[in-house]
Amino acid sequence: MEDLKLTKWQYRTSIREGLRILSLDCGPEAKQNTLSKQALEELNQVLDVNLTDHPRVMVIRSSKFESFCAGMDVDEIREIVNDPSNLKQLLNRAHEILMKIRQAPYPIIALIAGECLGGGLELAMACHYRFVIDHPKTRLGLPETQLGIIPGFGGTQILPRLVGMQNAIKVIVGGKKLSAKEAKQYGLADSLVDKWEALAIEELDFGTVILDFFLPVKRKVSFLERLPFGKKLVCSMARKATLKATKGVYPAPLLALEAVCASSKSLSRGLNEESDLFVKAANTPEAKNLIDLFFVRKDARKATPLEAKVYPLDVVGVIGAGVMGSTIAYAALTAHNKQVYLHDTYVPSIHKAVRFIEDELAREVKKGKMIKGVAEETRNRLTVGYGETFHSLLSRCDIVIEAIVEDMAEKHKLFTKLEELTRPGAILVSNTSSLLPSEIASVLLHPENFCAMHFFNPAHKMDLVEIAGIKQTNPEIIAKVLNLTRAMGKTPVVLNKECVGLLVNRVMTQYLMQSIFNVSYWPSRPNLWMLDQAFEMCGMMMGPFKTLDLIGFDTGAHVMKMMQAAYPKSLPDLKDFKIADDKSTLGTKTGKGFYIWKNGKPVKPNYEFAKRLDIMPKKKHSLHGEIVAIRETILSKMWLEAMDIYENGIASIDMIDLSLILGGGMMPNRRGVIGRAEH
């Protein structure tokens, strides 16, 4: 042991006889541990030394409470994806080292706290037993397909052997991350440890069974998988479901599924197939694009326009408790220790918002993601106010986020009042979708404390926040708002200058308006439902008409009208299009729009609505020819809008594409609307 020179691990002998503890430790500057090539080689050294002087039991753990291991080092993943010539060699080496754990003549236990993902879980699965700390921060998963690749250190072969094929598919292909309790139910965790502090390993009772007899644990397999053709049936059903979910746009989930299905072969053949499929996935443009995006997002999260020390904004006001205000308030509340004041003039809006916040907190507790006491403490940090008079807490707010109706006169009245009632220097921001921020701020005596802070719907789930200062904005204000955005766990994109609709809404409005224009302009009335499909098949998260149903035709039409007035040259004029005027076809809000909606899902086209709007197709269309040509025309208009944003110096190409992906679900497979790698 003395000869070992380790930089990524700490290895020590416990005071408990025969117990040795190997802790992954990527240093204090790394927020999360990763399994780099070096960490693997050092693990190999430990395993080799142990062969001559082996312990009675070895525990592999992490020196960080919140990260067992986040997976393979993504910098190294990028390297191998850009130059895959040595890929197979690297994977074989990893298999070889992890096999040494499996074949060790003494039990090796993984003690898991925090995130245990990708290569981290593959390391834990190579161990003979997994003890998992039962804490809301514990998560076990294999999310490689999100980067366009598949698990490559044996995950697709070992997980099905531990939890059965059906459960493995949910984790590997579906990207499900398991809580500690779920890991136990699945049979992935052999034992739950209920104390976070139990990381004082000496206090843990590993059980005489493990220590003295080193018995294998019995694994669960579902009834279906035990039938003669059960596994084949599971694979073919999963293939259909995956094709439907990915619309054939993403190769990695299908390749991962193929690898999982190969787990019914011998381990060595299965591992070999996994490596071949990994190489195939790594060579796709989708993998290059998704990995590239990972770094662009990382840069956006790190970026700071100001080096100066930025004080946190601890008391957050949110005015307007509608769809946006209630979800923004929830996102601020769940950010560390923020006190939130939520105000609305309309009492039912406040009641609805409070019910929403309480329900969300209860859901988190039920899912095991939050402790009950923490949920109660979070709820206690919320103060509400309603009517014309504000609560005194408004005067203590560090920042006030305006999320009231999209009406310039209303916003002017509110901002004038807010400037009077807040403390000097308090930051005032607007969540406007389609008004020019500097025009909103024109009533302020101190516009230097103002900027746009644009969240997406629903704000507690959507990752992106666009931030844009006006000419007078003090850079320190932007830095503080950026910090708050990060504290809320979101990705900030700071625009270099303002414009109506900021960035995402400009391209999104092109998408929606050009789609309406095209299905209503051509005499044949191109099939709008097929146009939705055609867009989804090239990587748009949602077709334009489904998106309109989600936004609601009332809100959508209002925003489109304002955007058209601001950009009359680039946006089409829809004045010949019959705007729906009845209140029963507002999309998901009323269950009917361009589609009939049930339980939040579009179940069939709503022909009646299309007839009323005079956009019912007049001939049979197929998913080729005209529909694809129309899609490409619309995509080129979106590209032009995105390029106009770039050429006007509003944002870089990276930030434009990242925003369009995070805020509008626009083609992550192609790396956004402007895009890079071939597709």
Segment interacting with ligand NAD (CB under 6 A) among 21-29, 94-102, 374-382, 402-410: 402-410
Alpha-helix runs per DSSP H in 473-606: 475-487, 504-521, 528-536, 544-551, 553-566
Q: How far is CA 115 from CA 6, 198, 319, 676, in A?
A: 23, 17, 36, 32
* Binding string, residues 288-327; x marks residues near ligand NAD by CB under 6 A: -------------------------------xxxxxxx--
- Of the pair 98, 414, the CB lying nearest ligand NAD is at 414
What are 21's strand-pairing partners?
A: 12, 59
CB of 502 to ligand NAD, least distance (A): 10
Closer CB to ligand NAD, 327 or 449, in the complex: 327
Among 404, 453, 502, 548, binds ligand NAD (CB under 6 A): 404
Dihedral (CA of 175, 180, 186, 189) sign: positive
Q: CB under 6 A: which stretch of 139-147, 239-247, 451-459, 582-590 binds ligand NAD?
A: 451-459
Cα separation, 427 vs 400, in Å, equals 6
Tell the residue number behind the tokens 């560090």, with chain if given: 398
Minimum gap (Å) between residue 388 Cβ and ligand NAD: 9
Token representation of residue 534: 């055609």
Nearer to ligand NAD, 24 or 319 (CB): 319
DSSP code, position 619: S
Cβ 436 to ligand NAD, closest distance in Å?
13
Give 377's strand partners.
Answer: none
Cβ contacts of 404 within 8 Å, gap of 6 or more: 319, 320, 322, 325, 410, 411, 414
Name which of 97 and 384 has its Cβ closer to ligand NAD.
Answer: 384
Q: Which x/- pattern, by CB under 6 A, does the window 453-492 give for ligand NAD?
A: --xxx-----------------------------------
By Cβ distance, which residue is nearest to ligand NAD?
322
Clarify whether 476 is annotated catalytic. Answer: no
The catalytically annotated residue of 42, 115, 122, 273 is: 122
Helical H runs in 177-322? 180-186, 208, 223-226, 230-246, 251-261, 267-282, 285-302
Separation in Å, CA 648 to CA 208, 472, 581 = 70, 19, 37
Of 410, 476, 536, 626, the residue at the interface with ligand NAD (CB under 6 A) is 410
Determine if 76 is a binding residue for ligand NAD (CB under 6 A). no
CA-to-CA separations, 420 to 104, 413, 438, 447, in angstroms, rounded:
71, 11, 19, 13
Q: Which of 115, 144, 274, 286 is catalytic?
A: 144
Q: How far apart are CA 50 and CA 64, in angstroms?
A: 24
Residue 253 DSSP SS3: helix
Is 144 one of the annotated active-site residues of the chain?
Answer: yes
Cβ at position 266, least distance to ligand NAD in Å? 53
**CB closer to ligand NAD, 185 vs 345:** 345
Cα–chain center distance at 368: 19
**Residue 414 lies near ligand NAD (rule: CB under 6 A):** yes
Q: Is 432 in the site for ligand NAD (CB under 6 A)?
A: yes
Query: Which residues between 336 and 355 bind ligand NAD (CB under 6 A)?
Result: 343-346, 349
Among 209, 405, 623, 629, binds ligand NAD (CB under 6 A): 405
Residue 611 has a CB neighbour count (10 Å cut-off) of 10
Identity of the residue, 319 or 335, whose beta carbon is nearer to ligand NAD in the bound complex: 319
Residue listed under structure tokens 């053949």: 269
| CB-nearer residue toward ligand NAD: 90 or 512 | 512
- Where do we find the tokens 């709007």? 613
Q: Residue 414 Cβ, how far from ligand NAD at the closest point, in Å? A: 5
State in angstroms the smallest separation of the CB of 14 from ligand NAD.
Answer: 54
- Smaller CB separation from ligand NAD, 175 or 322: 322
Residue 296 CB contacts under 8 Å (≥ 6 apart), including other chains: 654, 655, 657, 658
Binding site for ligand NAD (CB under 6 A): 319-325, 343-346, 349, 403-406, 410, 414, 431-433, 455-457
Report the catalytic residues: 122, 144
